[in-house]
Amino acid sequence: MTRRRDDIALRETEASFSRRDLLKLLASGSALLLVHCGPVPPPPGEKRGASYDWTKHYWVYVVDISKCIGCCACMRACRAENDVPEGYHRTWIERYRIRKDGEVLIDVAQTGEHVFAEVKDEVERAYFVPKICNHCTASPCTQVCPVGASYQTKDGVVLVDDKACVGCGYCVQACPYGTRYLHPTTRVADKCTLCYHRITRGEKPACVAMCPTGARMFGDLKNPDDPITRLLKDTRTRFIKAELGTKPKCHYIGLDEEVI
């Protein structure tokens, strides 16, 4: 972990969405009116480890496409850990199949058991892509929230204060990655928290802990000895929809051109 990367990460946290970024997002049809932005203190009820200091960490997520076998253990772990309602996902796996003529077929694991349907058609290559909230450093979801219920923590996580959320759904519309939903029971915005209740106690997010192949990784950029910090120093990674200027924090290793 170099001092420079640390500085970049912190600068990105403070970055706001530029007019150019907004125009790009509007062109993608994903953004609504930008009303409110900026980090705010965590709500009083936020579950955190008792001695946790959010100024001492900067969390980052890494996916290695070549290691994902599409078993969906991560989805099941997330559902159990976070009580995700049936039919909704905080994280999911997409299967990409590329035909000889270049056609790209994409499907997702079925709800319920979270397994992929068996397919028999011939394809040239196939791979799985785990998707998750990117905890964007220039996050459109926090910027459109009219009451500041969606916010960024100092340690790089995007959260929702469910007591403050009025369920308007602006953030759901604004997220260009489709990672948010309105909870069918509580009617407030819901999404991946990086298992904030776990990581602030020194544990990994449930999806990372349960992945049998190490395809999902997680680390602290402020810790120079963290294996993920070292990995990111030496490995070329890419982001999904980087051109939108949202500055995602989920790094992908081996991301192919077909992935959207």
- Which of 65, 188, 246, 253 contacts ligand SF4 by CB under 6 A? 246
Strand partners, 217: 62
Quick one: which H or E segment has residue 18?
A: none
Q: Is 138 in the site for ligand SF4 (CB under 6 A)?
A: no
Strand partners, 97: 105, 126
Stretch that binds ligand SF4, among 1-9, 63-71, 97-105, 229-237 (CB under 6 A): 63-71
Are 246 and 139 within 8 A, CB to CB?
A: yes
The overall longest dimension of the chain from CA atoms, in Å, is: 56
Q: Is 251 in the site for ligand SF4 (CB under 6 A)?
A: no
The contacts of residue 181 (CB under 8 Å, 6+ apart) are: 88, 172, 189, 190, 191
- Which of 71, 195, 232, 253 contacts ligand SF4 by CB under 6 A? 71
C-beta of 37 vs 74, nearer to ligand SF4: 74
Count of residues near ligand SF4 by CB under 6 A: 29
Q: Is 144 in the site for ligand SF4 (CB under 6 A)?
A: no
Number of residues in the chain: 260
Compute the least distance from the CB of residue 86 to ligand SF4, in Å. Answer: 19
Angle between helices 3-14 and 227-234 (to 10 degrees): 90
Q: Is 133 in the site for ligand SF4 (CB under 6 A)?
A: yes
- Which of 131, 216, 222, 241 contacts ligand SF4 by CB under 6 A? 216
What is d(CA 9, CA 70) in angstroms, rounded to the nearest whole number?
Answer: 31
Q: Is 25 in the site for ligand SF4 (CB under 6 A)?
A: no
Binding site for ligand SF4 (CB under 6 A): 68-74, 93, 128, 130, 133-136, 139-141, 158, 175, 177, 179-180, 191, 211-213, 215-216, 246
